[in-house]
Amino acid sequence: MSTPHRAGRALVVLSGGQDSTTCLYWAIQRFGRDAVEAVTFDYGQRHRVELDAAKLIAEMAGVRQTVLPINTFGVMGGNALTGDITPESGARDDADTTLPNTFVPGRNLIFLTFAAALAYQKGIEHVVTGVAQTDYSGYPDCRENTLKALELAIRLGMDSPVVLHAPLMFMSKAETVFLAQEVGAMKALAYSHTCYNGEVPPCGHCASCELRAKGFAEAGIADPLVVRTTGA
């Protein structure tokens, strides 16, 4: 079902990955291309290729992109995305209540706060993020209750009517693939980056690669990134 056009302007947190790319095109469909901008965070991530992916995808989508540097996470380290730790391989058991070593404490809280601050400066009312509560990892800063609490804190702290949107919040990975197809994001997904090991073509065995592959397989659709980089 198509989402009706909505008045206002939107700022999309664009990492260059599958989910944020899908959300970018969701926002374009919902708000109109001329009313959408993207913000990308350079937070000292090891997989630097995602910054190149985000830049290219923003260009493909025809939206303005702002890159904000945040080096604090890299300085703190302690996780597989910013430190010298090997990312976990394979999908996690749903019964596993521990957080994976790819969890960066506070990352989405900081990202969305900075995004809201940038939106405030630009007079933008809507901030869009690709977080999903149904994601295999169960990151606590991807949950709906966290976003609702953060939205309230931002509204109070900035005296702003900002609205945080998480269109993928309760979708399975297969459902996000269908949404990407619906909003016209498939071509851009061929240039997205998801692999925790930063490999192109994607390694295929880290947890993120396995989750992405599972989603496309369940949707019965070939992953355009794999097709582009391997010809498979």
Binding annotation = 14-24, 195, 203, 206, 209
**Binding site for Zn(2+): which residues?**
195, 203, 206, 209
Q: Could you give the C-alpha distances from 53 to 42, 45, 231, in angstroms and in order?
A: 12, 13, 19
Beta strands across the sheet bearing 36-42? 64-69, 36-42, 10-13, 126-128, 163-165
Burial degree of 15 (CB within 10 A; 0-12, 13-18, 19+): buried
CA distance 25 to 20: 9
Binding positions for ATP are 14-24
Query: What is the biggest distance separating any 2 CA atoms in the chain, rounded to whole angstroms?
Result: 51
